[in-house]
Amino acid sequence: MADAIKTDSTLDASFCAALCTRLSIVPDLQLPSSLCRQQPELGPEAIQTFLQALLQRDPAVFLERYSSLLSSSDLNSFSTLRGNYEVDYWLHQAQQQRQQGAGSQQANQEQQQQQQQQCGAASGNGRVKAGS
C-alpha cells in the first residue's frame, strides 16, 4: 500500500531526466553561488546532476527557481505532487505568471495595433491634405 502512495506522489524518472537535460543547457541559468564556487566552470553534465538532485530532494524549491523556464506541459507533469502545499503554491504562482504574461502580451498587441491605426490615419490625413 505504501508503494502505491509513493508512486502517485513522485515524478516520472524519464520526465525528470529530460527536463533537467533541457534546463542544463539554458544560457545564464541561475545556479546557487555555493555550487559555482565549488566548481567555477560547470559543464552541462554537472548542472544536470545538480538539477536532478534538487528536483528529487525538493521539487517545491525546483519550481520556485525554475518554473518560469518550464512549459505548460512540464508544469502539468507536476500534478502527481499536488497536495504538497509548497508545490501547489509554486504551481499556482507559475500559472498566474503565465496568465499575466498572456494578458500583457495581448494588451501590447492591441496597443501596437491602435498605434499603427493612428499612424495610418495621420499619414492618410496628411496625404489627403497634400493632395488638396
The two most distant CA atoms of the chain are separated, in Å, by 87
What is the CA 107 to chain-centroid distance, rounded? Answer: 20
Could you tell me which residue, 124 or 100, shows the higher pLDDT? 100
Burial 58-68, CB ≥16 within 10 A → b, else e? ebbebbbbbbe
**Residue 47: Cβ within 10 Å count:** 20
Rounded distance, CA 76 to CA 80, Å?
9
pLDDT tens-place string over residues 6-51: 435 689 999 999 999 999 999 989 999 888 888 778 889 999 999 9
**Cβ neighbours of residue 22 under 8 Å, at least 6 residues apart?**
none
pTM: 0.70
**Cβ neighbours of residue 86 under 8 Å, at least 6 residues apart?**
60
Across 107-123, average pLDDT: 60
Residue 73, pLDDT score: 94
Residue 100, pLDDT score: 87
Residue 104, pLDDT score: 66
Q: Which triple of cell numbers denotes residue 84?
A: 504538497
pLDDT tens-place string over residues 68-113: 999 999 999 999 999 999 999 999 999 999 888 776 666 666 666 6
pLDDT tens-place string over residues 56-72: 999 999 999 999 999 99
Rounded distance, CA 46 to CA 33, Å?
14
Residue 114, pLDDT score: 64
Tell me the CA distances in angstroms from 48 to 24, 26, 75, 130, one per residue in order: 5, 11, 18, 64
